[in-house]
Structure 1
């Protein structure tokens, strides 16, 4: 482990956290690719399913926002522990009470509680990364974070579900998620004895510092714009899980093929999370987000609809497009390096805005589907997401880094 961390250039304490994050997120996200069709087959409409995921996203957004400032007040490990406990409580009530009731108004608060827990764990660890990683390795460090986050959430979770569902069924598969959550938390928190470094000033923020997690977006407008860009980043990916499985099955794919395509999207994504983390340290953080992220995602969002439709549900070709979309999603990774760099004296607050954007992304995607699917249909929703990605590329034109930024990047990325 020591030789590996020396080669990567990151503290050993982060490597333990990364390992725990993978396992935790595997349990958190194993239902993403199939829960919406399962709920709809049980009697919910697609709009009701979208509402459930939207409320889940609001809860996740609030927790994501709290995670940054709470980590500076109470310490990352304590906030991560609280997140695990809340997630477990929410999961138990959602699975044992919410789902069996078939009542949307019972499912909404129980699933929302589950959604409130996981960002406290994951995004508090991201704050940990922002403080512990050397500045010159920050792009790579956040790339590894998103590699582990997406790998557990969207790849290993989906792979486990594809194996477990035929044997365990939907309900027992959901219960088994708690095993991964507990194991991941144990590795990241309880087996990792080292503490997060204090703020450089030695100042301990008070509860009033929570407001900084909002006001900093107005005090430093570039941070506010970065938060909007992060909100758009994975919005389509979360929206896809609500309506694209139905579209794919309508044009000839099976549920198993959809899950494989979805897993391919995120498998490629986790590889490019690492690649774009390293590439962006050389190419420029802002340029990577603008061109590969915004414009790339806009292009492949549209193709993700038209290619399978026009190719007669060609599985391999659709897998290729899904992989390209996943790669472009990863090009937003440098935002996790840009945001704390824009506010070095308030990294926790800056990361709160980033984390809020990540949480709002889980709300925005299903919300777009719920609002537009009835009037615009599937193709209209696709073009709305494409337009959002173009808008994110436009915003990045104004998110420039300070002149005294000490990481060597192309001149076009600084003021």
Structure 2
């Protein structure tokens, strides 16, 4: 029997030959007029990797960085308006409501700041924020060493319950919290059996949120009582691999979400019963999905795929293969989906046909791709430079080499034909979109 680590490497670190044979690769579609990447309008450099997604309100872009700062940047010029220093990495995306910016940090606090000047209105201490991890993670050596999961990128981002005046989020302490948005006092909390790094969805008075205990919870937004919970596939051998990182999305009476068990689910929003599930072929579904017309769009990790399925039946419509893991939600504008991959590229896909329209790379990828990628594709063993993958330090070093590509984990936001996205190279980019 193969050692567990080798099985995991096969499942997650490499694109299997089977997957390569089943994925279709549509060629770019020739059109007279398409939405394409034109040029970088501006870029703003932080001092840490950016995994969070930009929030834009009143002409300001708010973004957190692993340098422990939350930045407010002028949307037009890319100039700094103010920054707030926390005491831990900011891997939670900001949410703006009533001139207040809400976000969480690895220092264990969730913050509320004045959106105009960055002054703290309040902060709330959770039971602590941490990466998922274990001693001897995935049987790596040394087995006595506690190892952070290198693919656990996010903290839960706040969602606003405007009816009750609450800000809601999950925590690594296993709780879902609802706080007064104005005062920061706790309205209620609900406990799960695992850390929560997923962002909640508020839909028709119910909060839907995933936990690392394998369950998606439906929680009454008024009082925090559990309406129902749905358990995804649990495989005890791979326990530390499992969990739900993606925020659900809703459409009428259905809730859609993916999980690390390599399935994408559609549930009845009222009862939590399964309507359909899609087998992602052993590949994690970490990013949130997007809905448009009659389709739901989601992406995968090790099969590098952007997939469209019928939202009523789960039947696959098409898929596009990128060059590396996809951990971000697509942004859809003018019938085009935009997303990034771990090799530092942005893609533009025609959502009706599944045709790839354009690809765009930042300078960090252009500079380092030849040294880090194998035939322009992510290959973890190649990035590890042939070192022993049984050792955790090898994985850390390989990830650091991949980050030199400017990996795109942040989701994109599009406003007025400009795409805003963060990168592991520490930059927030504003990319102009135009017609050709």
TM-score normalised by structure 1 residue count: 0.26
Structure with the larger helix share: 1
Bigger relative contact order, structure 1 or 2, given CA contacts below 8 A and separation 6+? Answer: 1
Structure-2-length-normalised TM-score: 0.25
